[in-house]
Amino acid sequence: MRRGIHRARETGVSQSLVALVPAPFFVLALILGFGFIGAGTAYAYFSQDLPAASDFAKDPLPLSTKVYARDGTTLLYEFAEERREPVHYDELPKTLIDATVSAEDKTFWTNPGVDISGIARAVFYDVFRRGDTRPQGASTLTQQLVKLRLVGDEVSLDRKIKEALLAIEVTRTYSKKEILELYFNQIYYGSQAYGVKAAALAYFGGSDLSKLTLAQQALLAALPQAPSELDPTKDENLVRALDRRAYVLDQMVDNGYIDQAQADAAKTEQIKITGRPLIDINAPHFVFRVKDQLVQILGSESAISRGGYTVVTSLDWAKQQEAEKQVKAWVEQLHEHNVWNAAMVTIDPKTGEVLAYIGSVDYYNTDDPRVRGQFDAAGLGERQPGSSFKVFNYLTALKNGATPATVVVDARTDFGGRDSGSFRNCAYCPENADLQYHGPVTMRQAIRESRNVPAVKFLQEYSGIEATEQTAKDLGITADFVKANPGLSLTLGSVPVKLTDMTSAYGVIDNLGVRVDPTYVLKVLDKDGRTVWEHKDFETRRVLTPEVSWLMTDILKDTTSVSPVFASWTNIGRPAALKTGTTDNLKDVYSVGYTPQFVTGVWMGNNDGTLMDQSGFFSAMGPAQLWREYMKAILKNVPVQEWPRPSGIVQAQVVVAPGAFGGYGSGLLPSGLSPWAMNEYFVRGTQPTRLDDWFQLSCPDATGQRKTVMVINEPGPDSWKKFRDLWIDSAIAGGRGYNRYPWSTVLSKGDPCPTPSPSPSPTFTWPPGLTPTPTFTLPLPTLPPGQSKKPSPTPTP
């Protein structure tokens, strides 16, 4: 036998507890002395505060809680105070029992709970052979269990005596099989494995003990003596583990359990570790959100780590793997734009089930501050969502009576009212991302082109700050708006939000106005397989009308559709709605989009706040394309669906013509002077009833002829007018009308007739691919001033 192999048990006491007199001597003296000093007196003294032996098996073993994907078989993680797999005595192979008894307690089947000869031997070695490097243990299997379950591991003579007394009492109370079953479930085997089944899984890849070889069983029996020093997963421990296994096999031969040939054959078997580390974690950030929800369900973290629950989560493992692959690939591709991190969440809008969840590009990257992989940017990170927040503003405007055809003028405006129109002393002058201003645009056009100035105008005139904040809260946004106090910048996404909140909120629109709180858990079963909680009959709340939700979805569909006047980078080959967002300094970029089946939100940026490259990078290029490729992948074999049109939606023709650089027209019903019309949807009762009064006949020119002009009758506060007039002057004079105005003059409301001029009218050219159907032919010189041919169109349902 190799010297040094028989080490003191890590959790036991076998060396001298008192410098002069060893503990085993006292235990031996106590037991032998019962007959001389009065067993009753000695027992009464040492047992006065002993726990009852009947409590030995009552305290339940801490059992790990296993967390699975929605398939019920893909293990994501185990929450455990002690990682173990319960085993019944009938599942224990005889050779494993024989090996353990041989290694730990040769007299187990016959001793009364303590080994008198073992104690005597320990006394002899500790008193007379103190120079020997092999201190002798005297603890039986029963004593080891008593120490772990009842008396603790305090290093004292008193504790050792109580341990021996309790071991005797436990042996009188329980059968040897019951004690062994408790031992195989309780004892620590190293590598985070408590109990022999968990050890088999950790070292050999399976928990079926009957499939273990004799050599593997002997190794398991060897480990409890010094589990850390014998842990065979560490190369430096292999020699010690082999020696200890050989010792166990030799003891089995000595006790007659196996013959020498079996032992010799087992000794030649290499130690091959094929198990998985018990601390592996899949979808880590998702798992920790599961834990948060389990605390709410079960009441405490200790219940999770000790209760032995089985948790079936909402995670779709195939979608999760696709998400991880796509996020990693796109972030790597965008390193050249200084993009190093991303997060993604996918939810089923009808059930609230979180199907995929990426909190960072690499959970294990803790070195790069731009990544900070263990920080959950999806569920804990609060990031500015940029223009993706505009949706809550426009939803509020729709609730308040605005329509997709409501027109505002996209012109640089000081909303603080401080400037006279020169912008030299601007109080609040938001700019569009392209630094261009496109004149009259409808709500639909403003959303599609993500115009900032129109968004602020809608907030100021139709939505209101507090009402918009309330809409966001109703849909699931948990940001602290009071503390942020954003003012009109609210609609531009100045308040940081969580990606999980944004994704869930868009899911409400997707679900036609019905909110379902997100869930990470589908079912929780106790250790006996009984269901204790289930995501069933969950609460739903209507927070938007189906009509308003459907209208917003129809508008957001424009951003994923390909039309004659604009191409989409986010088309996925089926109906889908999407909104992107970019912060001013390119610190964060967002995309949130959905189909009837799934809603997915994406954030990109850097966790340390490092700015991304501002040249040539924007949200449609990064998160929107990641969203596109991911959605195409997970929808590959899913039937194409559309959102059912609510009965309260009607259709009407309005004077609007979309273009690649904004739109033009009043959004009203076409008149005899209106040059074109297109169909638009409305909530019943909000469709326009007034005929178009923007297209009018001008005052006579020098030759007496009248021409058609467009008069901008933008609603809103008077403070907008001066800025609108500035835009008109620059658009006509500077050629920024993008050839949208073939008429001689564009007038603001109330302007007088222009001074007659013989100058020719500018030539109008339609944008490529867009040819409207005119409702009349210019000119109409026979109409008297101020009158026009006015048909009476009827809105079509």
Q: What is the pLDDT, as a whole number, of residue 275?
A: 72
**CB count, 10 Å around CB of 131?**
5
End-to-end CA distance of the chain: 94
Q: Rounded CA gap, 428 and 449, in Å?
A: 21
When computed from its CA atoms, the radius of gyration of the chain, rounded to whole angstroms, is: 39
Give the β-pairing of 497-498 and 382-383.
antiparallel
Residue whose C-alpha is closest to residue 344's, from 331, 372, 334: 331
pTM for this predicted structure: 0.78
CA distance 429 to 722: 14
The structure tokens listed for 559 are: 């951003």
**Closest listed residue to residue 618, CA positions, set 608, 609, 605, 630:** 605
Sign of CA dihedral 314, 318, 323, 328: positive
Cβ–Cβ < 8 Å for 384, 489: no
Q: Tell me, what's the pLDDT at 65?
A: 94
d(CA 200, CA 189): 9
Q: What are the counts of helices (DSSP H) followed by strands (DSSP E) for the chain?
A: 24, 23
Cis bond before residue 779 (omega within 30° of 0): yes
How many whole angstroms separate alpha carbon 554 and alpha carbon 716? 26
Cα 279–Cα 285–Cα 288 angle in degrees, nearest 5: 70
Nearest partner of 444 among 454, 457, 433, 434, judged by Cα = 454
Residue pair 356/315 in contact (Cβ under 8 Å)? The answer is yes
Q: Write the pLDDT tens digit of every residue in 265-288.
A: 999 999 888 876 556 799 999 999
> Pseudo-torsion of CA 97, 99, 102, 103, nearest 10°?
-110
Question: What is d(CA 116, CA 658) in angstroms, rounded to the nearest whole number?
Answer: 97
Q: How far is CA 723 from CA 61, 414, 421, 676, in A?
A: 75, 8, 6, 27
Assign 353 to helix, strand or coil. strand
For 597, residues 6+ apart whose C-beta sits below 8 A from its C-beta are 348, 635, 638, 641
Query: Tokens 């005889």 sit at which residue?
Result: 94
**pLDDT confidence of residue 599:** 98
Rounded to whole angstroms, how far apart are CA atoms 127 and 16? 9
Residue type, 84: R
Q: How far apart are CA 526 and CA 728, in angstroms?
A: 71
Query: Given this model, what pLDDT does residue 550 score?
Result: 98
Q: Which of 327, 373, 331, 383 is nearest to 587 (CA)?
A: 383
Residue identified by tokens 């115009």 is 451
What's the confidence (pLDDT) of residue 715? 85
Q: How many CB atoms lie within 10 A of CB 556?
A: 25
Q: Tokens 């560490």 appear where? A: 234
Amino acid making up residue 224: P
Count of Cβ atoms closer than 10 Å to residue 218 Cβ: 31
CA distance 534 to 312: 9
| pLDDT at residue number 765 | 39
Closest CA to 416 of 724, 728, 719: 719
User: What letter represents residue 199's amino acid?
Assistant: A
Helix (H, G, I), strand (E, B) or coil at 313: strand
Contact between 765 and 739 (Cβ < 8 Å): yes
Q: Which residues in the chain come in under a pLDDT of 50? A: 1-26, 28, 30, 32-40, 42, 45, 131-136, 742-745, 749-750, 752, 754-797
Please give the helix or strand (H or E) that residue 357 lies within, else none: strand 354-358
DSSP 508-570: HHHTTTEE---BSEEEEE-TTS-EEEES-S---EE-S-HHHHHHHHHHHHGGGS--SS---S-
Q: Read off the DSSP letter of residue 757.
A: -
Which pLDDT score, from 0 to 100, does residue 660 have?
Answer: 59
DSSP-assigned letter for residue 669:
B
